[in-house]
Structure formats: C-alpha cells, structure tokens
Amino acid sequence: MAKQGSGSILQFAPLQSSVDEGFWHRLSSLKLNKFGIDDSPIPISGFYAPCSHPQVSNHLTLLAESLPSDSNDESTMPPVIRGNRNRCSVPGILYNTNTMEGFHALYKQGLLKAEAMKIWEDIHSGKAVEDCAVLSRVLLISFADLKKWNFHYWFAFPALALDPSATLVDLRPASQWFTLEEAESVSAACNEWRNSSVTADVPFFLVSIDSDSHAAVKHLKDLEACQRDGQKLLFAFYDPCHLPNNPGWPLRNFLALISARWNLKTVRFLCYRENRGFADLNLSLVGEALITVQQGWREQQCVPNAVGWELNKGRKVPRCINLAKSMDPTRLAISAADLNLKLMRWRALPSLNLEILFSLKCLLLGAGTLGCQVARMLMAWGVRKITLLDNGRVAMSNPLRQSLYTLDDCLNGGDFKATAAVRSLQRIFPAVEAEGIVMAIPMPGHPVSSQEEKSVLEDCKRLNDLIDSHDVIFLLTDTRESRWLPTLLFANSNKITITAALGFDSFLVMRHGPGPFNSIPNLKAETENSLAAGMDNLALTNTDGQHRLGCYFCNDVVAPTDSTSNRTLDQQCTVTRPGLAPIASALAVELLVGILHHPNGIFAEAEIANSSSGGNFELPLGILPHQIRGSLPHFQQMTLLGHSSNSCTACCSTVVSEYRKRGMQFILQAINHPTYLEDVTGLTELMRSANSFQLDWDDDIEVADDECVEL
C-alpha cells in the first residue's frame, strides 16, 4: 500500500454492532420477571476483539451475559469477564423504555453527551490509564415489544472529538514501517501480550523499541519510564477494523487521552490486527498524527463534543428486529443444542451428517437404567424422535440409577416408566418428539392361556408396527427372553439394531447384522434427499458376499426360556455396578453414529481394535466393531467378531422363513412351547447327537501335562 496521509484529516472507521439473540431473550426475562415498569438505566457490557480477517471487521457484540443476572439476590451489574482474548470488555448503559413513544422521545444527544463525560472524567482522574477498558463505552437505547417480539434499538459508541481534528502525517502497513528485526520482535512481544491471561483483553498499550531493535509491550502507566529511556514509542490498540486506509474507532478516545493527559503533539500509533490468533503486521497499520487542539480544550470542565450514533444503512435511524420465531425458548434450546454439533463440522468432523441425525426415528425397548442413558445420549447427538417402550412402573429404588426419574415419579404406586421418561425428556429438551408406549413384550418360555392369546397377538402386531415405523432400534431390556421377539422382527425387517446388556461388573454392546433375506432395492431419484432414501443407502449396499454378522442369540445353543421365575431378590433385580450403564449406553449410541456414517451401513464389515485391516474407507469416527465387551474389575474392554449362526433361534433363515409363512401363529407356538424353537432350528438334534457321542479312554496311557488341551 502506498504511503497515506501528508496532511489530510485523520478519519476513523465507525464501530459496528452485533446483538446475539440470547441478549434479547435475557432482556425479555429481566423485563417480565425483575424490572417490570422500572425503566432505570441498566448497566451492560459489550465485547470486541482485534480484527482477525483481512476483509471483515470485528463487531462490538452484546451477549446474554452482557446483561445482569435475572436472579433477584445478585448484583444488578453484569459479571466482569476478564482474561478472554476474544472478549475485550466495554462498559456501557442500556435505556429500555416502556413504550414506543418513550423510545422516540429520548434526548439522544444528551444521553451521548453524558456517556462522553464519563470518559472525559476517567481521563482526567487517571482511571483510564489504570484501566484502559473505560476509554471505550457503549450506549444502547431500546424498546421491547414483548407481544410481537419486536425489538427497536439504536447503538452509540461515544467518542470525544478533537478540536481541530487530528492531521494524518503517515499511515502504512506495519510491516513497511518496521525493520525486519523490529517486526520480528514486535510480533513476538504482541503475541506474548495476547497469550497472557492477565493482559489478553487489555485493549490499549505501549510498544517500545530500543536501539537494539528489541520490542517490549507495556501498560499505559509506564509511559514516563519509556520516555526517559529514549526508546522508539508507539501507542497501540486493538483495532477491530480491517480497512487498509483507516484506523478503527477506539483510536479516537485514545488520542483524546494522549492529548489531554500527556499533551503530546505528535503521536505514532499501532493499529494492532491479527490473523488466526497471531499478530499480522501486514494487516496491522502504523500511523503518525499531529494533534493541535485549541487552548482550554484540555481543561476538565470543557467537555469536548461527542459523536458516535451508529448509522443504519447510511441513515440516522434506529434498527428493528423481529424475533417472534426464534425467541420461543424451545427454539432457543434447539439453537443451543445444535451449536456443539455444528461446531464439529467446522474442523473436527466435516462429514458429520446432521440431517440424518435430526430426522432419525429411534425405538428404545426398555426404559430402565440403559434406556434412560441411551435416550439422553441420543438427544446430545441431535436425535429428536425417540419412542420408549416399557410396561414397568418407577420404583423407589430407580431414580438414583435411572437418570430420567425423580421421587415424584415413584409416588402413589409409581408412574409408568415410558410416560415418566417422556415427561422428563421434554423438560430437558422441549423440542424432542418423544412418545411413551406402555406395553409388555411377549416372551418365549412364558406361556399364555387361550383367553390371553388375543391380547398377546395384538401386542406382537403392535411391536411389529413400531419396528417398521422406526429407523433404528435399541434392545435394552433386562431379560434374555424379552429380546427374542424383537430380534426376530429386526431380522425380518432388516433394521439397524443395537443391543446393550449388563452383568454385575461387565457389559456387552453389539450391533446386529442384516437379516438373512436382505435385498438391494433400486432407489428412485426423487427420493434421494429423503430420510428413507438416506437410510436405505446406509443399509442396503453391496454385500460382496460377506458372511453376515450375528445377532444377540447367534452364540447360544439353547432357546430362550423363563429366566424370572423361582429367583431370589438379587436375581430378580438388575444388580450391577452403578458406573456400568452410562459406559455401555454411551458406547451403544456411538456405535449407532458410526453405522450411520459408514458407507456400507448395516452391511459394514466388523473391525477389531488394533487390526491392520481398516476397510476401503477412511472413517472419521474410527473403527466400527461388531461387539464391545467391557469389564470393570480390569478396567478394560475388547472388540469381538461373531458371525451369524445357521441354527440361531432368532435370526437364521429357518426361523425367519417360518415367521413369514405362519406369522403370529409361529410366534404363539414359540411362546407356549419351550422346545419348539430348538426343534425348528435343529438344536434339539444337535444336542441329541452331542449327548450320544462317547469318548473311549485308555486308562493305561498317561498323558503328559504339556499335551493336555483345555476346552
């Protein structure tokens, strides 16, 4: 850039405002719950930072924490936040009127003059030297129409006007003003100043350079010591402006301080700007200005003229924003909940598919210890549609272990877990679309009478309909037999299924493989953007002839049967170490997210930790195992692989074929006849053959210990 200045008037780039929605939300809450009709001035704090982009200026921002807390027992002053390099605090005042007429009737020039007088008094008292943050101030007038959620507002950034104006002698990029040695030293000194929690948010400072080109950054109160040492001196400030030919607004009051406090005629200043958190001397500016004010201008009683009302599209008029849609607390909760997920896509996980997560329909079978934790983890990942199925009631022993319940849910015999869990989810996150289904899952080994058959068959059909209407199913029940019917229905419908099961000090988390009769549909182009198309793309891709992964029952050689009768109290309850359920639940949800982001979805091959085969795809979420088994006594977990069994009582082709042929009558026979599933799958014959197999032992031959095989 060519040298600028040569006697022209020094012109400053106006500061620009930005208001976060949370600020208006808290103001509304304060107005309704605390201030009422009291329209007294409200202290606020604004925040700004040095420019960090060559084409974009930083704004002065108001956040929710810019206002006082809405608690009645706390101070009316907003909290002072110090040490944040991206939040240089600017004190200010808010005048919020009760009517639109009152807003228009405010004496704006008088309010601006009053705030400018505070700056002038701080300059003469020395406070601005000790705490330079008071050199900048923000004035905001507003009217909040809480019926229509319209907010009328106008910002001012009070600035003391020099009389006459300062003359610009020179202005150029800092990299052209310093020598190479000086530039390197200045950058290092400024970076050190910015990285210290003590000085990171101190916006005005001195940069001194000695004869050896060594630079140091010092507080304003050290000016006289720098002048005595004869060092090259620059008055530096955090410049929010990006323009190459104009310094930012904070320099105005800085020059007023320099002239009134130290009576300097020639001032060299550094407009400090950054790039990616470090000093950028190509973007920063160094300038020289001449100050020749009239006699008496520096006197404390002669308050200079003030300027600073923000223009709205070049005109001196207030702004108006309508937040009827976004000011609803539910919408604010959605915005806040989505923030972490959206920030993941900035750098850590650019491929994160939020659209699938937001639209996913999850069915949780079981609303106990595991169900409560899984539901909360799903919401944290952005899942909004959750159905919980359970027929139990909340007992007094539940709230300590099952995070969605409280003592109130236990009273009067206890509420149904499914409905109580939904209420709790909606209190935590009002935007969740949660539904509770109070229903028992029909189980093999628990025969039903002829009078109960109709009701049981209706439950079976209802469970089948629920599975068909959801994208993902979590199997979180606490008995083995209660997992059989859902597993069969999953295998038939080919749904993504995650199982989590707990022992006393161990756990299992696994994903079920696809069903035995999966197919590859031809997706229509018009449905490619729908969730159904997205789920099909995840699940129904080329299987390459791989042996499918097993289900929860594939390693068993006996059919599920009654495991609840004739049990002691500790066997009837799920006795488990308290830390186990949160671990297993978190892994179950993370496993689901991994499936959703794998190109092969439900058909993805199983990977084992530390395995050399990472598949053909680069997976940003890591490996995708089949089973995760954990042990608390050893504080370890391992990933395992189990293929499907041709004799599985839940997912083999024989069982699924029988279900497709006979439907509910097949299920009823499996419920009422404990050995039926073993007979159908050939397990009965297998056991008979195993029992008839005999070993002939030769007692005369001794086998060496090292030849023994442990079975």
Contact assessment for residue 574 and residue 500, using Cβ atoms and an 8 Å cutoff: no
Neighbours of 527 (CB within 10 A): 12
DSSP assignment letter at 69: P
Question: Which residue type, as a one-letter code, is found at position 69?
Answer: S
pLDDT score, position 149: 84
- The reply to whether 522 falls in a domain is no
425 and 284 assigned to the same domain:
no
Task: Check if 320 is active-site.
Answer: no
HEC string of 28-42 equals HHHHHHHHCCCCCCE
Tens-place pLDDT, residues 211-243: 899 999 999 999 988 887 778 899 999 999 999
For every residue of 201-242, DSSP letters joined together read T--EEEEEE-TTS-EEEE-GGGHHHHHHTT-EEEEEEE----
Among 51, 410, 573, 651, the one annotated catalytic: 573
Overall domain count for the chain: 3
Residue matched to tokens 């029988």: 658
How many residues comprise the chain?
711
136 and 185 assigned to the same domain:
no
pLDDT at residue 524 tops 50: no
- The reply to whether 334 falls in a domain is no
* CATH number of the domain within which 24 lies: 3.40.140.70
572 and 425 assigned to the same domain:
yes
- The reply to whether 325 falls in a domain is no
pLDDT range class, residue 543, cuts 50, 70, 90: very low
555 and 507 assigned to the same domain:
yes
171 and 156 assigned to the same domain:
no
What's the mean pLDDT when you consider all of the chain?
Answer: 86
pLDDT score, position 533: 45
pLDDT range class, residue 333, cuts 50, 70, 90: confident
- The reply to whether 390 falls in a domain is yes
Neighbours of 489 (CB within 10 A): 24
HEC string of 279-304 equals ECCCCCEEEEEECCCCCCCCCCCCCC
CB neighbour list of residue 98: distance below 8 Å, 6 or more residues apart: 37, 39, 143
215 and 91 assigned to the same domain:
no
| 306-323: average pLDDT | 93
Q: Which residues are registered as beta bridge partners of 19?
A: 62
pLDDT range class, residue 65, cuts 50, 70, 90: very high
Residue where a domain terminates, one of 107, 127, 160: 160
pLDDT range class, residue 79, cuts 50, 70, 90: low
672 and 589 assigned to the same domain:
yes
Has this prediction a pTM greater than 0.75?
no
HEC string of 591-632 equals HHHHHHCCCCHHHCCCCCCCCCCCCCCCCCCCCCCCEEEEEC
32 and 180 assigned to the same domain:
no
Any idea which of 509-523, 545-559, 585-599, 617-631 has the lowest mean pLDDT? 509-523
**Closest CA relative to residue 310, chosen from 138, 106, 94:** 138
Please classify residue 275 by burial: count the beta carbons closer than 10 Å to its beta carbon, then call 0-12 exposed, 13-18 middle and 19+ buried: middle
- The reply to whether 534 falls in a domain is no
147 and 241 assigned to the same domain:
no
187 and 130 assigned to the same domain:
no
Tens-place pLDDT, residues 616-638: 446 778 889 999 999 999 999 99
152 and 174 assigned to the same domain:
no
- The reply to whether 105 falls in a domain is yes
Per the structure, the complete domain to which residue 222 belongs is given by 167-306
Tens-place pLDDT, residues 386-419: 999 999 999 998 999 999 999 999 999 999 999 9
501 and 366 assigned to the same domain:
yes
- The reply to whether 393 falls in a domain is yes
pLDDT score, position 499: 95
* CATH number of the domain within which 581 lies: 3.40.50.720
Report the relative pairing of strands 496-502 and 472-475 from DSSP bridges.
Answer: parallel
* CATH number of the domain within which 215 lies: 3.40.140.100
- The reply to whether 332 falls in a domain is no
